[in-house]
Structure 1
Amino acid sequence: MSSSKRKSKEDGPKVGLEYARSDVDAGIEGPFLAVFPGITPPKNTPFNVYKPDAEDGKTKKKRRIIEADTGKVEFVGQNFGEGANQGFCRYVIAIRDKETDKVTFKDAPVIAVNRTIKSLKNAKTHSSSVDQFFAAKNSLGEAFGTKKIKQQIKSVERNAVNVSTLDSVAGILHDSIAAKTTALPSKAEIKAKADEDRPIPPYDLNATKVEDIYKLDTLITPAEYQVIPFKTLLDKGTKPLEVLPFSGSTYINDALVAALSISKKDRHRIRLLMYINFLMAFSTIPDKRLDDTETVNRIMGEVPSLILENFYERFTERPEGSEKKKHTFTPKSKDKLLCWIFAIALTLENFNMDSSAMTKDLSLKQTKVNELFKAMGCKINELTATQKAQLDISDDKAKTMKRAILTVPLTFPLPKRGPKAK
């Protein structure tokens, strides 16, 4: 195999390599490698090459300036001085002659080209002319103006900021700003803080199963689950809300009627629906009546005391500096109570439910309900084609119906950076 390789090298075509020294000696310019930051000229733009006036020394003989004018923009670049592209590489371009099969190498200096918009070249001159105009105007005002005008001119001069005087304090300001900004929280810290402040039940961020995100034992303790009086509903198959404290829930009524109408009662489902009803009733207690035993008993009815005590512990706060009032609702605790309801409902609906199912029951706006579902990590999606067919509804009505879907991995929306744009 090695002999065949040597044979192919000896019998193959020969390519001549040559360095274009003759072009350099003859003064033939080019080629150049140009770097255009931001904008490039059209490909047919002609560039002129110039040499500096003074060319003493061997390195100075290689200095070149290139220039082009497109009518609106001027392009100027050079391979020396401050505007040059500082590098430690030497570039050459290889040119192959197809007839002679000869490759010629030519030096290609790198030139950084800067652009100048011609219409803005006189901006500085215009600015100076404006300054001259105001100086002349002030001189006329001081010479012939009224006392009020003279006071205005002096006031403007006193309040004028001399930028040059700020140079001495620029470093101090920079250090002060740097010290303040280092104390600002990072994006990760802001997100972690926002997640902690969410008015939602305890969750498992690392859950791999959707049912483990909001575990039922954290929503309803085993002790609460055992004392839910579900047997009171077994004989009320058509009117279950008559024995429950909250009688205004269409969602709870329809779900309980369906659960009680079957021969083998789903006791687990009945218990969860009753617990949601207890939560709805608790949310209707006026804030000023939370410590009024008579009002609470009238609204909550026969709710077991253990469940009621846990409601107070989870969904109310103790106001500071108040001896008479022991419990109060805050906006956050109210939202927490609603999220508790939605979390149990999601468990009942296999974590995919109509987001408007309890909007009327709880007297809430749909935007508020969707906001709370999103805070829990749900996605608010439109109905699928299969769901539209099952419900047998029009496309216009389907657009108003949204599904709240909880999936893994659990993700929360990013915190808002500021108020909405008006």
Structure 2
Amino acid sequence: MSSSKRKTAEGPKVGLQYAQADVESGVEGPFLAVFPGVAPPKSTPFNVYKPENEEAKSKKKRRIIEADTGKVEFVGQNFGENARQGFCRYVIAIRDKETDTVTFKDAPVIAVNRTIKSLKAAKLHVSSREQFTQAKNTLGEAFGTKKIKQQIKSVERNAVNVSALDSVAGILRDSISAKTSALPSKESIKAAADEDRPIPPYDLNATQVEDIYKLDKLITPAEYQLIPVKSLLEKGSNQPLAVLPYQGSTYVNDAIMAALSVSKKDRHRIRLLMYINFLMAFRTIPDKKLDDSEMIKKVMGDTPSIILENFYDRFTESPEAGDKKKHTFTPKSKDRLLCWILAIALTLENFNIDAGALTWDLSLKQSRVNELFKSLGCKINDLTATQKAQLGNAAEDSKSKKRAILTVPLTFPLPKRGPRAK
């Protein structure tokens, strides 16, 4: 064995150097990124940031890298609590083939965390709210008044533990189901509302409009025969309206004078108009004077007693007040009286009437009269082209005029929900 040392074969040498020039000129990178879990696509660009203040020598190598893929955000840093702990220093060797040199560059290791952007805001919101509440309660318990401390304790006592309700959730569902099954159906509610309407007796199954509100239900045969039509006819043209108890109805007065102007008097129409006049007069009696015979005589004149008795039965309530029985108007009984007037007027006008014909006579707003017509089952429609043409020059008035029309089958509006709009 030869004792001479083996000579190393000589060949081309590679120059090694440290990228000190890049460090001094501020060239960034590279960085070794560690992705726990899911890594972004290789084509994802990352941005590098420096802390605002880097005066201290120990802070000059602090860096933050960030990338955004649209749905996921990646953020990492080589300092602080989220920095990767280790005692090794990593460098990357970069070989330049043209100059045949290898350059070493520092490569700080950065642990990158991912955050789903759609959940980020929610988590921050809940966290900040809980932190604020805890801080507020701590301050209140330390420096608050006795009242504030009691409020804090009350809120803590009344806080609902959602997890504790899981065991009774089934019982609550069964209890709610049992209670809701006993609730009335939509059809039964509508039927009850129709029964409670302050309107004359009606036939819901009527196939002809005149059978909906039959005349003998509006005016009994006994009342009809006792209407004093002769006293009005005997007056002739000598102030026939003087026999009427209520003088303030334009609709009734004009209709009666029109009926008397023809040679053949329509006694049936005059009877119905006189009955409407009796109803209007009865409506003007003060509530406290319903049992005052002198007031009744003054307001109602010579109205037959049977008609007055039926008025009291239909349109007043009789609450017990000690040993003396008195009569009184209620909101429902007043509406019932108004609906009776409108139903007879519909009969007179062949169930197609000017909705504003009785507005002034009843001292009501048009919207209120329309509501009463609807409660009777009428539809409030605009004038037809023929009706507008009949008005002639009063075309502007036709825009505001409406017709209340009763048709078959009879339908009522659905009950309103909530309080009436003011």
Under TM normalisation by the shorter chain, which class is it?
0.5 to 0.7
Rate the CA distance shift 1:154–1:313 in 2: closer, same or farther, 3 A.
closer
Contact preservation (8 Å) 1:224, 1:306: yes
Q: Please name the residue that 1:348 is paired with.
A: 348
Q: Structure 2: which amino acid aligns with 1:383? A: L
Please show how residues 181-196 of structure 1 align to structure 2 within 5 Å. Answer: 181-196=180-195
Secondary structure at 1:404 match in 2? strand
Rate the CA distance shift 1:393–1:207 in 2: closer, same or farther, 3 A.
farther
How many equivalent pairs are there?
Answer: 308
Q: Please name the residue that 1:221 is paired with.
A: 220
Q: Please name the residue that 2:253 is paired with.
A: 253
Deviates most, 129-138 or 181-190: 129-138
Please show how residues 142-181 of structure 1 align to structure 2 within 5 Å. Answer: 145-148=142-145, 154-181=153-180
Please show how residues 120-139 of structure 1 align to structure 2 within 5 Å. Answer: 120-130=118-128, 133-134=131-132, 137=135
Unmatched segments (≥5 aa) in structure 2: 1-68, 73-115
Contact preservation (8 Å) 2:320, 2:326: no
Instruction: Quote how far apart the aligned CAs of 1:315 are.
Output: 1.1
Unmatched segments (≥5 aa) in structure 1: 1-69, 74-117
Please show how residues 281-320 of structure 1 align to structure 2 within 5 Å. Answer: 281-320=281-320
Q: Structure 2: which amino acid aligns with 1:146? A: F
Instruction: Quote how far apart the aligned CAs of 1:356 are.
Output: 1.3
CA RMSD after TM alignment? 2.5
Q: Distance in 2 between matches of 1:151 and 1:407?
A: 66
Rate the CA distance shift 1:190–1:135 in 2: closer, same or farther, 3 A.
closer
Secondary structure at 2:361 match in 1? coil
Q: Please name the residue that 1:77 is paired with.
A: none
Q: Distance in 2 between matches of 1:72 and 1:381?
A: 58
Please show how residues 20-419 of structure 1 align to structure 2 within 5 Å. Answer: 120-130=118-128, 133-134=131-132, 137=135, 141=139, 145-148=142-145, 154-238=153-237, 239-419=239-419
Q: Please name the residue that 1:47 is paired with.
A: none
Secondary structure at 1:403 match in 2? strand
Q: Distance in 1 between matches of 2:392 and 2:133?
A: 79
Deviates most, 315-324 or 192-201: 315-324
Instruction: Quote how far apart the aligned CAs of 1:138 are.
Output: 5.8
Instruction: Quote how far apart the aligned CAs of 1:399 are.
Output: 2.4
Deviates most, 238-247 or 128-137: 128-137
CA offsets per residue over residues 10-35 of structure 1, 9 Å max, x none?
A: xxxxxxxxxxxxxxxxxxxxxxxxxx
Contact preservation (8 Å) 2:71, 2:118: no
Rate the CA distance shift 1:215–1:128 in 2: closer, same or farther, 3 A.
closer
Rate the CA distance shift 1:131–1:281 in 2: closer, same or farther, 3 A.
closer
Contact preservation (8 Å) 1:291, 1:325: no
Rate the CA distance shift 1:287–1:168 in 2: closer, same or farther, 3 A.
same
Q: Structure 2: which amino acid aligns with 1:228? A: I
Q: Structure 1: which amino acid aligns with 2:229? A: F
